[in-house]
Every structure is written in structure tokens, then in C-alpha cells.
Structure 1
């Protein structure tokens, strides 16, 4: 049994680990200047120590949040344990783990897809086969993936293909007889002290693998540190160094016209201009930087992921290898994320029940209510209702998985709703005179899930 001390990342001032704290400031400032990027959390590790960490309110350190495709690197780690234990063979075909599908899968290329091919996003398909696989399998993505013939020989072309990772997840769950989380718990989560997790499941009950993992930022940083140390955690070899090397080297060229997406792809890891990374939609990053003996974990709401990485290379990476001033510490500001702006005029507060207006972008959201004493906002979607205390102007009020801030402007009530277990923010504009509301996403959740599912899976 591991002790608590072994699971805690030690903290240190930046200068003690040779880090120039002013470079961290410059990185944060550079990202803030981007029009389509918003940091939610940042952890910087060097020489195994946390030298900088910050969460922008209403985001908090212990809250698990959706990592999007950083989930893939956790799924890859599960594969690594299974390979190290001799339970999965990289050169076996995917089909061999599901003999019940053997009679159905007749295409020779589908039958030839190996585990190493799906690990490297090289199944032979031209692009993401997500929708085709879901349709072909009547909702069973694993079956549909094997029933969707690749256009090319497996192992010859790269395509970022969600069913590839789902196949890895399905294999782990087949050989273990349990969930992906259950397999990782004694091997990864418990040794690293990762206690708060949730993972989205498919209709067959499988954790989907390619996305859907909810973990705190520190869990992302810890996984990066495990790989940086070649599979060692607290003097214990959890993963073999052979797996770390195999998973993080380039197995196939990607041909993606963005510099940091054109360095090759490993086993569910992207190669970068510097080191390698786990990479999730809207700017979720686990950056492993062997040249600096460093790890950077970032959660954000960013459409400009290349801009965020450029800021890392321009400002943060040099700070990690600089001669640091001996007395410089990093003291981040405490300013929360901005909310709606008020114009100073606030009508008398009265209960409101509003219907969708012509500018509403969420067709499933059919009613918004504001009640008073205490102030609360309620969102009705289908048969479900989300309720949260209504935050004041310039401040966030958190109620479970929701945080709100509100302000009156131009006779309308503007409410921002942050789903704090995800990267996403919903903008609401309530018009009492017209009896209507308009809703739009700052960034749209992938897959268009119901609002009630924008939280850690239960």
C-alpha cells in the first residue's frame, strides 16, 4: 500500500528548481492577449516539484473536469500495463479479442487491423470513422468499427480516428472483465493518489476511452511526471521504460498542416516541437518536456490551441531552462474569469419565466426561470431541470457543477453559466419585456450532450 506522502507532488519555489518566474508571468500574459483562449488552470513541474500552480475562479484545484482527448493518454497507459503484464499483444489483431464478431467481419483489411495500428491511429481509414462506426454497429462502436472497411492497408496512413481508441478501451475491458477505471485504479490511480475520477460510458456500458475522462488538473500533471520519469513513481517502476519509449515515439507521420500536429504520432500521444503531449479539445494539455525535465498541465477554453502552444515555446520553455533569480517567486493574481458587464441600471427584481427567442442557439433548452428570495436561475431541458444560485455582477456563485454570474444591461439580464466540470460556458440573455431568452455557447460541447450531462459521470 502506498503512503499519502508518496502520492503528493512536492512544492517548491521556482528559483529553487532553476525556473525564472517572470517567464511564467509572460506566458500567462501572452495567453490572456489571445482572442480565443482562456486559461482555467496551470501547473508547472520541474525536477519533480510543482513550481507554479493556479486556478482561475470559479475553477478549483480538486474539481475533476472533462479532459477531452487527454483521456487517450490514460487509455494508452492502460494498454501499457496490459502489454507489460503479457495480457495484450500489440501484434495481435483487434478482432482476435472479440471472436464473437469473427463471422460478421469479412473485409480482409478490417480483419488485419492490429492493436499497434489502432494505438497509433493507423487503422487504414481515411478519416474519423466515428459516425460510420456508430451507424454500422447500431450504436455499438466497437462492432461498427470492425464492420467499416478501411480505405487503405492498416499501418500505412494516419487519421485521427476516435474508434481506434475506443477499440483499445474495449480490449482492456475484455481482457480484464471490468471497466477501464477499475483496471487503472490499482495500477495508476491509487499509486499516484488520483481519487476523484469519472469516465463517460457508451450504450454497451464501456468507458469510451477516446474522451470522457474527468480528472483534476493535478492528475494530468502526475501522469506526465510518470512518463517523464520513464514509468517510475516514488521509486517504484509502475510502467516499463520500454512502454514509455514505445508509446511516446513517432510511429507514423501525420501530415497535419499545424507545426505541433505535424511531428508524428505515438501510441495516443502527439509528438511536439519540444517533447510530446496529451492533447484535448479546447486546449487541455499535458506537455512532457524531457529537455527541461519539466511537465506542464493546462486546462482552458481555447479555440486557438496553436497559439497557446506557441506561448509555451516562446515564454515558458525558456523560463524552465534559465538561470533563475534566487529571490523571485511566482505570485499569480487572484482575478477570476470575467463575467457579464453591467450598465449600472437594475430593474426591480421579479420572478421571470421565459421562452426561447429567435436568437436562441440551444433548441433543447425550452424554459429559463429566474426566481427571487433567494435569487436562483432554473434551466429546463426536456424532463430535466438544472438550478443554481444567481451570482452577482463581478462575482461567481457555485452550486454543484454550475457557477453563475449575472448583470443587468440595456434592460436585459445577462447570465453566464459555467459548467465547472467541463471547459464550457453558456451565455444567456434574458429579456423580461419580450418574455424570451437567447442562449449561446462560448465553445460548444462536443457531441451536443444534454446540459444535465455536462458534469462528472455518476
Structure 2
């Protein structure tokens, strides 16, 4: 989210996904700031990561994701939109039920372990939770796809999807075990400017405090 390219989310999203080649369109966007500086939240940035993974592995990204995350009990991707070139969309439109989101969050909460295996390297989780920039939405820290904040008097890392699809991960402390919370909402309605996201945050905060 610090590529420096004009963001292809918000008011630019529709134009971007209407282009004949999403990768080329993302790379052709004007440079609006120095790379590595201020956050520019852009779905195109994560889609470029998807395109890179597709090229490097030589396989459809859905197959790769199912292989990598297959050992996670209860996790399942039932559908995923693709761009005109057949690359799975790296930013959104991945169909999962609430239980699948929770299974993914629980795996992160357990330092990458699930089903008796180390599914995601602990080092990667640590890197993804390091503050890389500040969120343009809240001013909170932002790592690799995770917003960094506090809820219920403890640290939280959360993923926020359009409409209010949420994963909250609370790392373990000396006094409290690790915990994950998942919430799903109407995928066709915005959650930021409507206040719905903030309502979900307050609910997660109360749950964390109660636990």
C-alpha cells in the first residue's frame, strides 16, 4: 500500500475493474507520491501481488491457496473472482463463510499453527504485524494487510473487508490467551463511511473485554 501509484479503490475502483487488463492498468497508473511513503490503500496493489504469485508458482492462485491453507481445519474458499486474464483477484471477492474467516484468524492467533502443523511460518506472522505505515482511514498502524490497534485493553490485529467482513486477532499475553473473532456483513454495502465498521469495532471491543 506504499507503491506510490494512484489508488485503484474508492472512486477509481469501477474504472479499474472495467479495464481489459487489470495488471497493466494498475502499473500504468500515475505516480502520485514517492514509493515507500504515505499509505495509498489500493486493491490494485494486492492484485499485483496475486499476479506475481501466479507467475512465480505457475499455477492458479486458488489452487495455491487451497494447498497452502488446506491443513487449517474448517477453512474453505468456495469461490473467487478473476480478472480478464484469469488471475484471481488479490484484493477481494473471495467467497468464505464466517467459520472459514474464524479458522484463518484462529490459525494466526496460534502463531501460524493449525491441525497439528505449522501452516504459516511464525516469522512471516511477525513481519506482517510490524507497523509499515499509518492507515489513511484511522491513523492506526498498518502492516502487511493487517490494521494494528487496541481493543478490550489489549493489542489487536484486524483485517477489514468491504461491507464489514472482519477478522480480529488478539495475540497472547502473559495473562491472556490468544483469541480470534470473525464477523460477516452485507457484502454489497459500504461499512466505513456508514459507521457500520465502527459498530463492529465496538462489538469486538466488548467481546474482548468480557473474555
The residue that corresponds to 1:162 in the other structure is 43
The residue that corresponds to 2:16 in the other structure is 134
The 5-angstrom pairing of residues 55-94 of structure 1 reads none
Aligned 8 A contact 2:43 2:91 in 1: yes
The residue that corresponds to 2:210 in the other structure is 319
* 1:125 aligned counterpart, secondary structure: coil
Aligned residues: 194
1 CA distance for matches of 2:4 and 2:163? 27
Aligned 8 A contact 2:50 2:89 in 1: yes
The 5-angstrom pairing of residues 161-200 of structure 1 reads 161-200=42-81
2 CA distance for matches of 1:235 and 1:131? 40
1:273-306 CA deviation, whole Å, 9 max, x = no partner?
A: 2311111122211000115411001112354111
Q: For the pair shown, which has the larger CA radius of gyration, 1 or 2? A: 1
2 CA distance for matches of 1:250 and 1:241? 16
Give runs of ≥4 in structure 1 deviating > 6 Å. Answer: none
The residue that corresponds to 2:157 in the other structure is 276
Aligned 8 A contact 1:224 1:287 in 2: yes
* 1:192 aligned counterpart, secondary structure: coil
Aligned 8 A contact 2:71 2:114 in 1: no
The residue that corresponds to 2:201 in the other structure is 309
Instruction: Name the CA shift for 1:153/1:123 in 2 (closer, same or farther; >3 Å).
Output: same
2 CA distance for matches of 1:213 and 1:122? 23
Aligned 8 A contact 2:78 2:96 in 1: yes
> How far did residue 242 of structure 1 move?
0.8
Pair 1:212-2:93 in alignment? yes
2 CA distance for matches of 1:222 and 1:158? 29
2 CA distance for matches of 1:154 and 1:172? 21
> How far did residue 178 of structure 1 move?
1.6
Instruction: Name the CA shift for 1:264/1:190 in 2 (closer, same or farther; >3 Å).
Output: same
Task: Give the TM-score normalised by the residue count of structure 1.
Answer: 0.40
Aligned 8 A contact 2:7 2:43 in 1: no
Instruction: Name the CA shift for 1:152/1:177 in 2 (closer, same or farther; >3 Å).
Output: same
1 CA distance for matches of 2:50 and 2:35? 19
Instruction: Name the CA shift for 1:253/1:191 in 2 (closer, same or farther; >3 Å).
Output: closer
Instruction: Name the CA shift for 1:255/1:205 in 2 (closer, same or farther; >3 Å).
Output: closer
2 CA distance for matches of 1:210 and 1:204? 16
Aligned 8 A contact 1:133 1:142 in 2: no
Pair 1:297-2:178 in alignment? no
> How far did residue 193 of structure 1 move?
4.3
1 CA distance for matches of 2:202 and 2:179? 17
Aligned 8 A contact 1:247 1:268 in 2: yes
CA RMSD of aligned residues (A): 2.2
> How far did residue 177 of structure 1 move?
1.4
2 CA distance for matches of 1:251 and 1:213? 25
Aligned 8 A contact 1:140 1:204 in 2: yes
> How far did residue 140 of structure 1 move?
0.9
- Ranges in structure 1 where 5+ consecutive residues have no aligned partner: 1-120, 321-458
> How far did residue 187 of structure 1 move?
1.3
| Higher relative contact order (CA closer than 8 Å, sequence separation 6+) | 1
The residue that corresponds to 1:63 in the other structure is none
Instruction: Name the CA shift for 1:172/1:222 in 2 (closer, same or farther; >3 Å).
Output: same
Aligned 8 A contact 1:133 1:148 in 2: no
2 CA distance for matches of 1:195 and 1:300? 18
1:388-443 CA deviation, whole Å, 9 max, x = no partner?
A: xxxxxxxxxxxxxxxxxxxxxxxxxxxxxxxxxxxxxxxxxxxxxxxxxxxxxxxx
1 CA distance for matches of 2:16 and 2:183? 31
2 CA distance for matches of 1:125 and 1:134? 13
Aligned 8 A contact 2:76 2:100 in 1: no
Aligned 8 A contact 2:141 2:148 in 1: yes
| Structure 1 or 2: more strand by fraction | 1
Match of 1:203 among 78, 84, 103: 84
Task: Give the TM-score normalised by the residue count of structure 2.
Answer: 0.83
